[in-house]
């Protein structure tokens, strides 16, 4: 099982990770803002992650880490 970690303080909520995820488990967390004022991305189902790291590859801010 892979674990996705999003550095919320770096994420600007651009949504590129959401489009890149083949399992559709990334989403924008509308429940709070980070310290820059953006809604950060988050993984909504860690158990479904296949560890492809497409989300991390697409992130222009290097805010996502995928560990297998």
Cα–Cα distance list, 31 to 14, 27, 34, 37, 66 (Å): 16, 11, 10, 12, 23
pTM of the model as a whole: 0.92
pLDDT at 54: 98
Classify residue 46 by its DSSP letter: G
- Sorted by where each starts, the structural domains of the chain and their CATH numbers stand as 3-67 (3.30.70.20)
> Mean pLDDT per 10-residue run, the chain (68 residues)?
95 98 98 96 97 98 96
The pLDDT value recorded for residue 1 is 82
């Amino acid at each position: 099982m892979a674990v996705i970690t999003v550095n919320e303080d770096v994420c600007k909520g651009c949504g590129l990770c959401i489009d890149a995820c083949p399992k559709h488990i990334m989403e924008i967390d509308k429940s709070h803002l980070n310290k820059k004022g953006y809604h950060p991305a988050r993984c909504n189902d860690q158990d479904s992650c296949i560890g492809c790291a497409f989300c991390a590859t697409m992130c222009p801010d290097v805010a996502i880490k995928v560990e297998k």
